[in-house]
Amino acid sequence: MIKIVKAKLKKLILKLSGRVRHLKKGIDCKKVWYGNVYGGFYVCPDLLNSNSVVYSFGIGQDISFDRAIIEKHGCEVFAFDPTPKSINWVNQQEISERFRFFELGISSNSGPVDFFLPKNRNHVSGSMISQNNINLKEKVIVEMRTMQDILKELNHTHIDVLKMDIEGEEYDVIDNILDNNIAVDQILVEFHDRFFNDGTIKSLQTVKKLKSKGYEIFAVSDSFEEVSFIKKSIL
pLDDT of 76 > 70? The answer is: yes
Structural domains of the chain in order of their starting residue, each with its CATH number = 29-234 (3.40.50.150)
Q: Please tell me the distance from the alpha carbon of residue 148 to that of residue 208, in angstroms, as a whole number.
A: 23
Give residue-wise pLDDT tens across range 137-178.
Answer: 888 899 999 999 999 999 999 999 999 999 889 999 999 999
198 — pLDDT class (breaks 50, 70, 90) = confident
| CA distances from residue 234 to 36, 125, 139, 183, 211 in whole angstroms, order as listed | 27, 34, 42, 11, 14
Judge whether 44 and 70 are in contact, CB under 8 Å: no
Measured at the CA of 146, the angle between CA 221 and CA 110, to 5 degrees, comes to: 130
